[in-house]
Amino acid sequence: MEKINIMVNGLPGNVAKIMAQFAMNDNRFNIIPFSLTGQEIEEDSTPLDTTIFELVKPDIREEKIIQIKSQFTSFIAIDYTHPTAVNSNALFYTQHKIPFVMGTTGGDREQLEQVVKSSPTPAVIAPNMAKQIVGFQAMMEYAATTFPDLFNGYSLDVVESHQNGKADTSGTAKAMVGYFNKLGADFNVDDIQMIRDPDIQEKQWGIPKEHLTGHGWHTYTLKAKDGSALFEFKHNINGRDIYASGTFEAVLFLNEKLNKAKGTKKLYTMIDVLNRK
């Protein structure tokens, strides 16, 4: 099997590092030694194992991508950058016909999807790359469609905890709020409680100390008005291995699509990856 060339963007960020290390230890992939990064990053390169990755900042990337594409005629980009870069990065990928897997949350999601749909460049975009959580979301979507207003009159509380370097509210939590609202709960995504304080996470939540710098703990609580019933849904993830595994399944899925006859669909989600459609 020929190795798939990938470009992991977001170095020297922690999530991008994990993705790069995963790829370097997987013989299905060949990681190219370049990574898109933010203009604020002071370094011009970053080492990872025995490889030095050149960091490509916005002010030079138009010029640099020509050089990269001359060395690697085809590759799939994996984006774990910053929420503020989501839309500009997607535009950059589509303009240069670079298929991509977008795990970064935030940005204008409608604009993000429209950019892909109106381009010839396929992409897998999901606010969460963990297969099991995506499957859970699919079950919630089914429930919301099949049993609308099931929890009509119930109050909803949503609390999510992530490492203090996560700048935005969890995209998964936002998506879950949408399902609960269809199920009858009246809740605004602005009311999601974001926990980013390591002291609170460790002492009040019981999150293991070794995972304070990388975790995703979510709790969704529904209560009847009279207090007679309570339903609670939660998913607690320690570390980022689950996201890396799902991300690279998305890469394999996208590579399959690139090798097949071109279709009209360009925008895929993790549900497509799970269904292999």
Please list the active-site residues: 162, 166
DSSP β-ladder status, 51-56 and 76-79? unpaired
Find the radius of gyration of the CA atoms of the chain: 20
DSSP β-ladder status, 193-195 and 4-9? unpaired
Rounded CA-CA distance 195/217 in Å is: 9
Phi and psi dihedrals of 186, rounded to 5? -105, 100
- Three-class DSSP category at 232: strand
Element of type H or E holding 91: helix 86-95
Phi and psi dihedrals of 197, rounded to 5? -85, 115
Answer for the pair 120, 97: CB distance below 8 angstroms, yes or no: yes
DSSP β-ladder status, 123-125 and 267-268? parallel
Answer for the pair 248, 23: CB distance below 8 angstroms, yes or no: yes
